[in-house]
Structure 1
Amino acid sequence: MIILSEQPVVKSIGYHPFPPSTEEAWSYVEDVIEITRKHAEHRRAGTPGDQETRAYIAKRLREFGLQDVKEDSQTFTKRSYTEWHFEVGGTEIPSFPLRSSAFTPAEGIEADILYVDGMLSDDMNVAGKIVMMPINVTKTTYEAIAKGLADYVYDPKENLAKRDSCYLISVADNYPGAYYMAAKMGAVGFIGILPFETGTADFYPDSSMIVRPEIPALYIGKYNGEAIKERFEKQQIITARMDLRGTLDEFASTANVMGVLPGLTDDVVMVTTHHDTGWEGGVQDASGVATVLAVARYFADQPGDIYREKTLVFNFGANHFGWDYPASNTIFKDHNPELFNNLKAVIGVEHIAKEVRVENREYVPTGRVEPHVIWAPRSPMLRKWAQEAIERHDLADSLMIRPGSMALIGEAKKYYFSGIPAYQIISAPPYLYDSVDTIEMVAKDRLAPVANTVVDIVEQLTNLIPGNWIE
């Protein structure tokens, strides 16, 4: 059953449709979350929640009037974990599977722990042991990013300097290398200690932080890791038990969802996000789905024979958390070679999030949004358009990455590496891969400003530049 919330009445103003509103975008967020909450595996790729979400998106696109609405499928190997345990001295420690790691034998694994504080090295004796170590997720500040990596900052209230340190959530200086080294040196298991101040063990990252299935591995939280370290320093020998069981489906299926608004030329501009997630996924990425749906509705309401020189494609990507990141780019290219060959620009939108602080080991919203990190093409004109749109819609706390200083991260990534001009709007709050990423974490009042910023950029791209502007 596909859930459709009641939509606000929209009226055209002259030849311009009613712009995306907070109420419209939020209704799409609510729809996606309502679907997600019905399913035990949320919207993970290849699950019933994934399938129902795709059907919902396709139905919306057809209602808006898009053409060639379809699902472009992908078959992949899906590793699911059904049961896991980590015990030290007979005490169960909360844990979560390290994605794509190997299953234990049916009887589990019992072995001594080798605690590594820092970097694993090849002179350590790990054979037959469970290696346990903190995962050093990189910390920095948005002020440092603004000064070191950005060439444009829109921060009218000077909030960036007031913010605490932030995590580069997909980067660690000792992982996943330590996992592979431990496996090569004969370890029988791996325990990664997460650094987050809430003490969570829940972590469902994309391919930047997953591993090949060489040995079983689990995450535990910061404070449980510290307690085990203290005990290890006193005893030196600690025996632990790991169990990690699940299933392997070599023929799992998922799909991109896409729709087209034909223009007067074959040149293509794409707006994209992803629809799958590890948890409830309010921020990751019901917020992105809602934003792109609102933008699609706007342009579907616009008379194309007057306003649309370029063909518009709206793509909702699949298997964002699998290998070949982001898989949606490859799926689109394989299923739509003609559209891909005519692709002139891409705009990726993801993660419209509340900023949080930690109080009593819980995330508490600060009342601000998590800053937007933005990539734009090298062309000064294309960058200027984005900057003008950001300021017009008061997209405060935005940083635009200087060309060449940091590779693009997000759903536009492979298009960017293919030489196609690419924009990406993304945020990375510390809870991005955590089970606390619920609808409450979405920055509701920021949905419409982001959507209208994208609308402005697309209108410039579709109407004002003839032919090919890659150079």
Structure 2
Amino acid sequence: MENNFAGAPRTDRHPVTAPDGDQIFSWIRDLTAFSGRGTQTRDDHRSVDYLLAKFAEFGLTDIQVQETDSLHWYASHSELSVGGTPIAHSPVAFSFDCGDGPFDMANGNGAFSTGPDGITADIVDVGEGQDDDFAAVDVDGKVVMFNLRFLLPRRALLDAGKFVYDPHDTIKPSDLDTANPYLSNFEDVVEKAIAQGAAAFVAVLADYFDSHDIRTEYKPDVAIPGLWVTKTAGAQIRTLNTQGVRAATLRLEGERTATPARTVIGYLAGVSSNTIMIQSHHDSAWEGGVEDASGTAEVLALAQHYSQIPKDQRPKTLMFVLMDSHWTGYQAHQRFVDTFINAPDIPRRIVANVTLEHIAKQAEVGPGGVLQVFDRPEYRGIFENVSPALKTAIDEAVAAHGLERTVRLDADELVPLMGELPTDAEFVFEAGVPTISLISGPLYLYDKADTLDKVHKPDLAPIASAFIDIVNRLAATPGDRIGN
């Protein structure tokens, strides 16, 4: 039987402090030194070793690393030219996915290549990639070019909000049509291109700033090679097409290899074995100041805070989880759920999940396609499916700690419409664990531009304090009364 504590853990006998913004920022700075960390760097241990040391420093127990097979994708060479004119580009990670062909997870023999001469074929522009666009052209054996569109504007999330905190009226109508890069038309258009026999594709980043250094999350079954180009480069190709220049040469080679994903786990035991899971992911595609050194540092902040509280003042056990494979197929997340949620006879039952991601500065596409970054918080959402009392607790914590531009969203309502929870908590949420998940989606989220300076440092300590309040309320709520 779980004890029903009436409030937050008592701290009268043991004064407790939360880490300040400088301390949290120092952890982010440390993590960004491990650029391309986790499964993005083959057999990488740097961030895992760092996090294990922090967990030990804070006095967590049962510290462990859960490993599972994941994929490392690396392009050793790429080229794109139209009519002999070189076009600036970047490879689409996990394109040229050979499926059940030469890749073997056990042996890691996953070389891919278009051959030393590449693919030479006409480039065919299908614009927005709608059915009518494809019906108007023959793409068989061709290089398909299309506009990549981002499909989730800020307006949609704000309109769906059950609670929006913006006491100083900072929300600007001109910001609301900006969409984050998480949801796009990529899979729909590439699936059509492959089905109609395309040899390769070029995706024009039509809603993006002037960069092709984007590495989106893993997309399965992309069996043909693909490259990213900027909106400017797309216009260059289209101008050549209007001049009758259509012959494109595309080359892509590299390898996919098996590599372990490593999830770092540690505990602070409480009076009850009922457990609150506090989560982020430690891997990144680039330097990853926002995604997701910032979320990882917030988990460290909560771990340090609660480590100062004696066990008899922690009503529930706390489990701190820093995932891997966010970029390479979420194999670590799936194995975690199988082990710690779905397996029978689990000694510690996870009754709630708190996920923290992306403490970001707002960004927009400025004149000339330049990325404009502002010294104010990016719009952010808290997706949740908890009880009415805990919804109120979230709203109160957001307001008490001044988390401006924060919207609370009902996950149970939105997930059927979106197809998934657009946060790192998706697999835990789908496994039935009540979830409170903070996230923002700045434009540069998947880009090389996600550097340390993009972290909104003034929010680091307030977010930690707000989620300490939220975790305290979860700890004081009987496990069977946390969910909707």
The counterpart of 1:434, out of the listed 440, 447, 456, is 447
- Find the partner of 1:297 among 283, 301, 304: 304
Question: Does residue 30 of the first structure (1) align with residue 41 of the second (2)?
Answer: no
Partner of 1:332: 336
Distance change in 2, residues 1:214/1:403 (3 Å): closer
> What SS is found at the alignment partner of 2:459?
helix
TM superposition score normalised by structure 2: 0.87
Structure 1 residue 216 displacement after superposition: 0.7
Residue in 1 aligned with 2:121? 111
Q: Which has the higher contact order (CA 8 A, sep 6+)?
A: 2
CA-atom RMSD in angstroms:
2.1
Judging changes above 3 Å, is the alpha-carbon distance between structure 1 residues 321 and 434 closer, same or farther for their aligned structure 2 residues?
same
How do residues 65-76 of structure 1 correspond to structure 2 at under 5 angstroms? 65-76=59-70
* Correspondent of 1:443 among 419, 440, 456: 456
Q: CA deviation at 1:120?
A: 4.7
CA–CA distance in 2 between the matches of 1:72 and 1:361?
42
Please give the secondary structure, in 2, of the residue aligned with 1:429: coil
Amino acid in the other structure paired with 1:454? F
Q: Distance in 2 between matches of 1:372 and 1:313?
A: 24
Matched, 1:262 2:269: yes
Residue 18 and residue 48 in structure 1: after superposition, are their counterparts in 2 closer, same or farther (change >3 A)? farther
**TM-score if structure 1 supplies the norm length?**
0.89
Distance 2:346 2:20 in 1: 30
| Cα 1:49–1:283 shift into 2, 3 Å | farther
Counterpart contact for 1:86–1:92, Cα < 8 Å: yes
Aligned-partner residue type, residue 55 of structure 1: D
Name the aligned partner's letter for residue 342 of structure 1.
Answer: R
Cα distance in 1 between the residues matched to 2:321 and 2:226: 34
SS in structure 2 of the partner of residue 240 of structure 1: strand
Any idea what the Cα deviations from partners look like across 1:287-319, whole Å, max 9, x if unmatched? Answer: 0111110110000111121x2111100000110
| Unmatched 5+ stretches in structure 1 | 1-11, 37-41
Q: Provide the rounded CA distance (Å) in 1 between the counterparts of 2:46 and 2:129.
A: 43
2:317 paired residue among 311, 328, 339: 311
When the two structures are aligned, how many residues end up with a matched partner?
Answer: 445
Q: Distance in 2 between matches of 1:139 and 1:375?
A: 15
- 1:221 to partner: Cα distance: 0.6
Matched, 1:283 2:290: yes
Q: How far apart, CA to CA, are the structure 1 residues paired with 2:172 and 2:223?
A: 43
Distance in structure 1 (CA, Å) of the matches to 2:411 and 2:198? 42
- Aligned equivalent of 1:84: 78
1:137 matched residue in structure 2: 150
Matches within 5 A, 1:332-371: 332-336=336-340, 337=343, 342-357=349-364, 358-371=366-379
* 1:407-418 equivalent positions in 2, closer than 5 A: 407=415, 408-418=421-431
* CA distance 1:157–1:163, shift in 2 (3 Å): farther
What are the superposed Cα offsets for residues 149-177 of structure 1, whole Å, 9 maximum, x if unpaired?
111000111112355232132222x4212
Q: Tell me the equivalent position of 2:161.
A: 150
Is 2:255 the counterpart of 1:247? yes
Distance 1:97 1:14 in 2: 57
Kept in 2, the 8 Å contact 1:46–1:254? The answer is: no
Distance 1:339 1:311, change over 3 A: farther
1:321 Cα deviation (Å)? Answer: 1.1
Q: Identity of paired residues, percent?
A: 28
Matched, 1:457 2:463: no
Whether contact under 8 Å (1:204, 1:434) holds in the other structure is yes
Unaligned runs of 5+ in 2: 1-10, 97-111, 416-420
Asked whether the equivalents of residues 190 and 218 of structure 1 are also in contact (C-alpha less than 8 Å), the reply is yes
Equivalent runs, 1:233-244 vs 2, <5 Å: 233-235=242-244, 237-244=245-252
Per-residue CA deviation, residues 326-361 of structure 1 (Å, 9 max, x unaligned), is x44322233434558711000110011001232553
